[in-house]
Amino acid sequence: MSNVISKSILDSVQMFSKSYKSAEPFPHIIIDNFFEPDVAEYLYENFPKMEQMPNIFKEPMSYKGQLSDINGKWPKFKHVFDVLQSDSFRGTVSEISNIPNLISDPILAGGGLHQSPKSGFLDLHVDANYHPLNKGMHRRVNIIIYLNKSWERTWGGNLELWDDIGEKPGKIVASVEPKFNRAAIFSTTRTSWHGVSSVNCPEGESRKSLALYYYTSTRPDAEMYQDSSVIWMGGRSIFKRAWYPLLNFVIRLLKPYAKYIRRNVFDATKNKY
């Protein structure tokens, strides 16, 4: 693991654990220089172009590309993902998050490689509480590693973390720039509201990241809630805040058909992006 993950991170786990636990608005930590420099450079240089992403979703709540089948479609990154899903690294994340016995997801459902072009975004939401194919796996921790060199602040694309008021988003508390080789690790619960601000990069540029989600076989009773898909909210948009509850209701009704609808209605690659 030490030839992929920066040794300085592995030596600072206890410090990170304290910061993680006390962070607002919910447990999280931002770690710079996450990968060893040569690994970060390799990932940046070999990241797929936008048109190489197998899926490019243009939905009411997001616009981004996704590549989850690393082994089949982007095997040059296989070793890095193997390390990020290994027992040793999951143990490290467990120490940082104080969530023991984390489980990896071999199919990287919803994760893998993400990429947002100009006008990309991800509306404010809390994640689904279970793995989409296995209700015995509770989603507990997200890790996102950014690979954006020379990213300018005016290009947006920040990870935004909001506090919670009665299971609804209150106000933005933290805004994280997607800087090169920066990792964001955070706990996922019914109140961990987060999203990505609109991307305003030039044509030909894009916001790039690796994303992995870790699970456990159970979770504390206090964190249990009804089986749910992603719960969307409009953030700063009063209009979206008004109609997203209806959208969430429709999503619940159509959940058995979600994969088909997403790939056949909202996947822009069908229109040859």
45: tokens are: 């240089």
Spatial separation of the C-alpha atoms in residues 249 and 66, rounded to whole Å: 25
- pLDDT value of position 272: 41
Is 82 inside a domain boundary? yes
Residue 273 lies in a domain: no
Residue whose entry in the numeric block shows the structure tokens 């172009």: 49
pLDDT at 261: 64
The span from the first CA to the last CA of the chain, in angstroms, equals: 37
Residue 87 has pLDDT above 90, yes or no: yes
pTM > 0.85: yes
Is the peptide bond preceding residue 25 cis, with omega within 30 degrees of 0?
A: yes
**Do the domain assignments include residue 1?**
no
Q: Is 25 a domain residue? A: yes
User: Which residues span the domain enclosing 247?
Assistant: 7-266
In a domain, 2, yes or no: no
Could you read off the pLDDT of 101-130 as tens digits, one per residue?
999 999 999 999 999 999 999 999 999 999
What CATH number does the domain containing 133 carry?
Answer: 2.60.120.620
Position 136 in a domain: yes
Number of Cβ within a 10 Å radius of residue 222: 7
Total domain count, the chain:
1
The helix (H) or strand (E) run that includes residue 261 is helix 258-265
Q: How far is residue 87's CA from residue 95's CA, in Å, rounded to a whole number?
A: 12
Confidence of residue 12 (pLDDT cuts 50, 70, 90): very high
- DSSP assignment of 162-196 equals EEESSSSEEEEEEEE---TT-EEEEE--TT-EEEE
Residue 118 inside a domain? The answer is yes
pLDDT surpassing 90 at residue 264: no
SS3 assignment, position 31: strand
